[in-house]
Amino acid sequence: MSMIETLSDVNNTFLSRREITCTFRGLGGKLKKLEAIDMISKQFKLDGKVVIPINMKNHSGRPEITGVFYVYDDEGLAKKQVNPVIFTRLDKAKAANAPPPESKEEPAA
């Protein structure tokens, strides 16, 4: 089981967001952004908040990843402040993980 170590947890009142930097031990090269969001949400009890992975860096020679996450209360504010490309990539990852819609075609007789 991996361990999450918090490096910094700052409330940025100017930008109305919480900035969390942490290290995931034992997951180097295996952790996906959506999994990291779930782990951070559970660790810091962030249900109902918008968690955005800004940067995830693998360390060479060590099985750990350092990640920077921004936590917003409001998704509209997050979309104003964060690069839209990040949201596009997250949406693509969510679409790839979603089960394919079942086709309603009938088999040929």
The C-alpha atoms of residue 18 and residue 2 are separated, in whole angstroms, by 23
Q: Is 14 a domain residue?
A: yes
pLDDT at 73: 92
Distance of CA 53 to the CA centre of its chain: 4
Q: Is 105 a domain residue?
A: no
Q: Is 27 a domain residue?
A: yes
Q: What is the pTM of this model?
A: 0.81
The C-alpha atoms of residue 109 and residue 90 are separated, in whole angstroms, by 41
With b for 16 or more beta-carbon neighbours within 10 A and e for fewer, the 33-44 pattern comes to beebbebbbeeb
- Band of the pLDDT at 94, cuts 50, 70, 90? confident
Q: Is 103 a domain residue?
A: no
- Band of the pLDDT at 7, cuts 50, 70, 90? very high
Residue 72's domain comprises 3-97
Q: Is 89 a domain residue?
A: yes
Q: What is the CATH number of the domain that holds 9?
A: 3.30.70.3370
Beta bridge partners of 69: 20, 53
Tell me how many domains the chain contains: 1
Per residue in 25-56, pLDDT (tens digit) is 988 888 889 999 999 999 899 888 999 999 99
